[in-house]
A and B are shown apart, each in its own frame.
Chain A
Amino acid sequence: MRETVATTISGVLAVLRPVTSWMRRNKTATALLVGLAWGVLTAVRMLWPPAVGLADSGDGLRLMCQLGVAPGGQGTASPGAFWEPFWPDYRYFGEACGVPGTGETYASSELILLRAAEWLGVLFGPSGGFDLRFLALVCALLVGAGVALWMLALPPSVSLPMRLLIACVVGLIMVDSGIARFYASPYSEPAALLGVMLLCPALLWLLRQRRYTWGALVAVAGLGAFVMLARTQMVSVLPVLCAVLLLRPSVPARWRGTGSWWRLRLPALGLAGALVVLAAVHLASQPKRYTEVSAYGELFDMILPLSQDPAGDLAWFDLDPSLAQGSGTTINSPDSVVYEPSYAGFADRVTPARIGLFYLTHPSRLGRLADTGMRGMASYNTETYLASYSADSGMPAFTTDSRVPVVTWVFSIYRDVPALVMLHWLAVLALFLYVTFGARRTGGHRPLGLLGLVLVAMLTIQFWTALLTGGAHEISRNMVVTDLLLFLTVPVVIGVLAHRGHIRKEEQAEPSVSVS
């Protein structure tokens, strides 16, 4: 029996040896094949009958109307019970296309993905509308590209089996039910999620260079802009992006590459400045309506429910204490206090700046806020008010997708002990700090350590941004990007631990990305 098993194993290894040998000699082709496999897997998990997506809660129209399409089904916005894959052509006039109520235009880089899907639909799909399944195909393509780029961008010190493992972990994260359901939805989350995933290999490419090249700078700046423009909350990653861009010199050495700190970073300064201007323009152009909705949610759905003195908190904002009856409501709730006469002047008194000042002067509230945030993160993929299946799929109303729930299942441990989110954060932060600044700063370690620190910084900023700009309503959905950033620390940790410890000649001579 033992001899049979040994013989079988030897036979399998003998078959695999040429394959692994070929993979080692053709790293680029290997990465492309792995990426292709994950792209196909993503497409299959989305489109295998019945296809899955995410129902529209009413938010989707602000983007989809810009394509000139209206919700399918009965002609009114889906109540969330079923996913509507097909949106028929429709002509909007004036403020009918935009944010519900005010009609202000909502800009998001998600429109880039929607336009790409629209072109696919024109080429291959039925006429007369937009099919969200083509958006799923576009997202599948990006998942495959991202997995391939992760494999290519990892330092040479990471062995081939570990590259495969890391790529597969990234792929598994991106096809998890809690992430992938957005790929066929009318929301702006796909742009944020895929943008973050694609930004990581670009950052790794950049961070492996002692002196930044223009290609890597453009890649990071371009993908960073894509991420920032996905949702208003994502603008908060700007400081991290600028810090990374300015970390090292970016003037080519042959251009008399010595001089002041600023002069050595002129190209990156230009890009960072462009990102700052872009962020400012994007924030200024965002619908004013959302400022009030966000302020209402933060005060009535976050501050007051966690407060032991709601009347006092309202008085701090120069509001009538009688508005405390609105605690726990959103602006659209039936029992919202927005209709109360004493609500007048709310928008002038509860501004983002004043909310920030409130928390600065009430630091004790931050603890409870953080607890709410960790519970929000831990409740990843637990919402049941948005369906994943269409009405003709045969599935009951409000059925959610659970085709690939590996990450969801693992993360369910955090749901039972939300403090594990904090422990995870602390553990990866400590590891990445050690790897980056610790004693054994080898060539392969440091870029991965820096990437990890970038992820932790983005995750921290996103966590607090989501908590301070929207209230507890839909906190699980608002935290999905933060969850993804936390998940992506896992493949980076694997890369750090898999580092072989010896420095290759290629890293010592010229630390640019080398692919073969």
Chain B
Amino acid sequence: MAQPRPVDAARAGIARAVRHRRAIGTAAGSVLTLVVLAQTWNIDDTWVDAVPSVEHLVGSCHAFRTDSERYALSDVSPTVQCDRTHQTETVAVRELTGPFAVRGTRLSPEERLRFNNELCGDLDVRGYLGAGPRDDYRFVGVVLRLPTEDEWRRGIRSYRCELTAEDEDPASPPAMDETLHDILARPSGDRFRRCWADAEVQVRCTQPHRSESVNATVPLPDQYAGPVNDLSEERRAALNAVAAPLCEPFVAEFLGRATGDTPYQPVAHPTADGRAVECGVGLPPDQPPVTGSLARSAQGAKR
């Protein structure tokens, strides 16, 4: 049998070495590929220090920076002190019952909006805000928070209703730095009161305005009801003359004294259908617009 030539053996050795190096390179490349691809999946550390849904209490305040947090189905972030900047406040913690409780899947984002009124609509928001019979509040929204998907699978059905200030400036999220509980009794509650800058434009009472709502709507006599588009000054004055006596008792109750004892006067703002007026307390014609609730200015510090 012929012996392999030394040259052939050397070539075979070189070829083995080359294959060996390529194998190492390929193995290293394969491992590197797997390590790089593994970065696609992130270790989720968002549940560290999360507060379970069942542990949130009425009166707790919640701070969010992004819209995704504000509108998320659930919230398990730690609460903040209500004297720190926050966006929502829990006003009710309840338990889902009936068909909602037996659902295998959690409500979708659209279902949450659809059932918001059903699940949180009976909240005594007025009572929580400290509104009296003649206090009209606006610009406060209600947010329904559900359990997380994992909590839902585990059978947790508690939910909470939160109050949030509605956007004043679309560029920045609404923020509060005190509790909403009895806020209408405080000057800081003026941002939630409804006022009018003129005959038609509604504003917050923290903005310049000429009249403030007294939370009363009175029907107009049939002969005065009608379309309210492009009301002339004469018609508006006529409506005011008819409605002022009807609104007087409500305005007096709002001010805490007879209207005649104040510089203010009843003002009528027709409703959209023209069949009624919303009563307001207005400034004298020669007074420039003011900011802040007129009730405090009428009664001093006492409400």
Contacts and interface: CB of A to CB of B under 8 A. Distances in A.
Contacts of B22: 215
A92 to B, nearest CB: 5
Contacts of B110: 331, 336, 338-339, 343
Contacts of A107: 40-42
A90 B65 contact: yes
Contacts of A218: 26, 29-30, 33
A74 B171 contact: yes
Interface residues of A, number: 45
Contacts of B51: 93
B66 interface: yes
Interface stretch (B70-78, B216-224, B280-288, B295-303): B70-78
A112 interface: yes
Contacts of A396: none
B69 A109 contact: no
Interface string B26-55: 100110010011011110101101110000
B172 A75 contact: yes
B67 interface: yes
A35 to B, nearest CB: 19
Contacts of B68: 61, 65, 77, 96-97, 100
A112 B42 CA distance: 10
Interface in B106-153: 108-110, 113-114, 148-149
Contacts of B44: 97, 105
A226 B73 contact: no
Interface in A433-469: none
Nearest to A331: B110
A292 interface: yes
B294 to A, nearest CB: 33
Contacts of B78: 93
Interface string A74-105: 11110000000000001011111100111111
Residue with the highest number of chain B CB atoms closer than 10 Å, among A77, A108, A218, A229: A218
B40 A92 contact: no
A95 B66 contact: no
Nearest to B15: A254
Contacts of A105: 42, 44
A387 to B, nearest CB: 15
A226 B37 contact: yes
B77 A94 contact: yes
Interface in A101-120: 101-105, 107-109, 111-112, 115
Given A102-B109, A102-B149, A222-B33, A112 B47 contact: no
B26 A96 contact: no
A236 interface: no
Interface in A62-78: 65-66, 70-71, 74-77
A101 B40 contact: no
A103 B73 contact: yes
A96 B36 contact: no
Contact of A101 (B37, B50, B71, B75): B71
Contacts of B37: 109, 112, 222, 225-226, 229
Contact of B66 (A76, A225, A289): A76
Contacts of B108: 101-102, 289, 292
A338 to B, nearest CB: 4
B119 to A, nearest CB: 15
A214 interface: yes
Contacts of A214: 23, 26
Nearest to B66: A70
Given A107-B40, A215-B26, A226-B37, A93 B65 contact: no
Given A74-B171, A115-B39, A96 B69 contact: yes
Given A96-B72, A111-B39, A338-B110, A75 B65 contact: yes
Given A331-B110, A339-B114, A76 B42 contact: no
B76 A94 contact: yes
A338 B23 CA distance: 57
Contacts of A109: 37, 39-40
B173 interface: yes
A214 B29 CA distance: 10
Contact of B72 (A101, A221, A292, A343): A101
Contacts of B74: 94-95, 103
B300 to A, nearest CB: 38
B25 interface: yes
Contact of B148 (A76, A94, A215, A221): A94
B66 A93 contact: no
A76 B71 contact: no
A104 B105 CA distance: 14
A440 to B, nearest CB: 33
Interface in B3-28: 22-23, 25-26
A338 B26 CA distance: 52
Given A94-B77, A101-B109, A70 B46 contact: no
B260 to A, nearest CB: 48
Interface in A287-309: 289, 292
A112 B65 contact: no
A264 B46 CA distance: 47
A214 B78 CA distance: 51
A246 to B, nearest CB: 19
B71 A108 contact: no
A76 B171 contact: yes
Contacts of A336: 110
A218 B34 CA distance: 10
Interface in A321-339: 331, 336, 338-339
A75 B72 contact: no
Contacts of B171: 74, 76
Contacts of A331: 110
A75 B149 contact: no
B50 to A, nearest CB: 5
A339 B66 contact: no
Contacts of A222: 29-30, 33, 36-37
A94 B50 contact: yes
Interface in B89-118: 108-110, 113-114
Residue with the highest number of chain B CB atoms closer than 10 Å, among A93, A103, A104, A107: A93
B30 A71 contact: no
Contacts of B114: 339
B42 A96 contact: no
B75 A94 contact: yes
A102 B39 contact: no
Interface of A: 58, 61, 65-66, 70-71, 74-77, 90, 92-97, 100-105, 107-109, 111-112, 115, 214-215, 218-219, 221-222, 225-226, 229, 289, 292, 331, 336, 338-339, 343
- The 5 lowest CB-CB distance pairs between A and B, nearest first, are A101-B109, A222-B33, A93-B77, A94-B76, A338-B110
22 contacts: A74-B171, A75-B66, A76-B171, A77-B67, A92-B69, A93-B51, A94-B77, A95-B76, A96-B75, A97-B44, A97-B46, A100-B68, A101-B72, A103-B149, A107-B42, A111-B42, A214-B26, A222-B36, A225-B33, A226-B36, A226-B37, A339-B114
